Amino acid sequence: MRSRTMDAEPETQDAPGEDTPAAIDLRQEYRDAGVADVLDELDRELIGLAPVKKRIRETAALLLVERARKRLGLAHDTPTLHMSFTGNPGTGKTTVAMKMANLLHRLGYIRKGHLVSVTRDDLVGQYIGHTAPKTRDILKKAMGGVLFIDEAYYLYRPENERDYGQEAIEILLQVMENQRDDLVVILAGYADRMDTFFASNPGFRSRIAHHIDFPDYSDDELLEISVGMLERQNYHLTGDAKAVLTRYIARRRAQPHFANARSIRNALDRARLRQANRLFELDGGPLNAEALSRIEAADIAASRVFAGADADPASAPG
């Protein structure tokens, strides 16, 4: 693999030959490469996140233009595609990273299009000589695709003089620079902690071209996400259950350790557990598909989120 430096001269194509087109229809390229399919999937599978989706579309446009310039024999250089995804847990960062890997593969910027998701524990060893082989093994698995490092700021622990995270960082920085045409690295985590991490590790900041912030979901978006999660498992909410869930979301958001869609998924799993126990205790004979698919208000109202509420959960204010 040819090494590259930040100030490398742009590559140039040979003089245009017989196979070089006179012009390129970017819209047709957009359709032929399947970019529209990936972006449509993103819209279908993720509620909200308008600023994130906008940035992904802008990135796709940039890559299409760069690919067209290369085909027309214009000076070009492989764009720096390393990214930073910042935001609270459960805002879709891993899902978007998977879509980005697919998008980059379809456009020919990575060979395979797979995603390798890791945390500090996958990269940093516990004793001398352990970190380098762990990090290199992960990098080997990720080559040709995207390496997604969640809670990346934990790689750097300045309070611990014997921490081996710095060794992993140095290896990552070298590969991110020298093999950036065969690997895209996405660093993810809370925005404030990532700012501190970049300030302490300027080598990372200089290699990250795209910084994308993932906003929290609104109450309405979380309710829509809830309905979608249940529908995909052939469950549905009664009208009363939907009203209680609306109040649940408002209360849960105000409590510690709220993780957006992740917390909602956990809440729905517990509601299904209560529904199963409620149905098992019934003595009314066989149950049809409707009964087995219906989530009722009581299945959600029993949540500890409503513990201590002055009024019944079904009528309690959000």
For the chain, domain boundaries? 26-214, 219-306
Q: Which is higher by pLDDT, 54 or 10? A: 54
pLDDT of residue 316: 40
Compute, in degrees rounded to 10, the torsion defined by CA atoms 172, 177, 180, 183: 0
pLDDT of residue 240: 97
Do 249 and 222 form a contact (C-beta atoms < 8 A)?
Answer: yes
Do 76 and 11 form a contact (C-beta atoms < 8 A)?
Answer: yes
Do 93 and 49 form a contact (C-beta atoms < 8 A)?
Answer: no
CATH homologous superfamily of 26-214 equals P-loop containing nucleotide triphosphate hydrolases (3.40.50.300)
Within 8 A by CB and 6+ apart from 32, the residues are none
Residue 278 has pLDDT above 60, yes or no: yes
Do 291 and 233 form a contact (C-beta atoms < 8 A)?
Answer: no
Q: Give the N- to C-terminal CA distance of the chain in Å, as an integer.
A: 58
Would you place residue 17 in the very low, low, confident or very high pLDDT band (cuts 50, 70, 90)?
low
How many CB atoms neighbour CB 171 within 10 A? Answer: 18
Residue 87 has pLDDT above 80, yes or no: yes
Which region among 30-39, 78-87, 209-218 has the lowest average model confidence (pLDDT)? Answer: 30-39
Residue 309 has pLDDT above 60, yes or no: no
- Architecture category of domain 219-306 in CATH: Orthogonal Bundle (1.10)
pLDDT of residue 283: 79
Residue 241 has pLDDT above 70, yes or no: yes
Residue 314 has pLDDT above 80, yes or no: no
Place of tokens 């909200």: 48
Which region among 57-71, 170-184, 233-247, 267-281 has the lowest average model confidence (pLDDT)? Answer: 57-71
Residue 317 is classified by DSSP as -
SS3 212: strand
Q: Which is higher by pLDDT, 30 or 136? A: 136
Distance of CA 215 to the CA centre of its chain: 12
pLDDT of residue 26: 84
Describe the crossing of helices 239-253 and 219-232 by its angle, rounded to 10 degrees. 130
Half-sphere exposure in the Cβ direction for 175 (13 Å, CA):
22
**Region 161-178 average pLDDT:** 90
pLDDT of residue 70: 85
Which region among 40-44, 71-75, 126-130 has the lowest average model confidence (pLDDT)? Answer: 71-75
Residue 318 has pLDDT above 50, yes or no: no
CA separation, residue 114 to residues 30, 74, 121, 177, 214 (Å): 21, 30, 21, 20, 22
Q: What is the mean pLDDT of the chain?
A: 88
Half-sphere exposure in the Cβ direction for 150 (13 Å, CA):
17
Separation between Cα atoms, residue 85 and residue 115, nearest integer Å: 15
How many CB atoms neighbour CB 31 within 10 A? Answer: 12
Within 8 A by CB and 6+ apart from 283, the residues are none
pLDDT of residue 47: 94
| DSSP code string of 262-289 | HHHHHHHHHHHHHHHHHHHT--SS---H
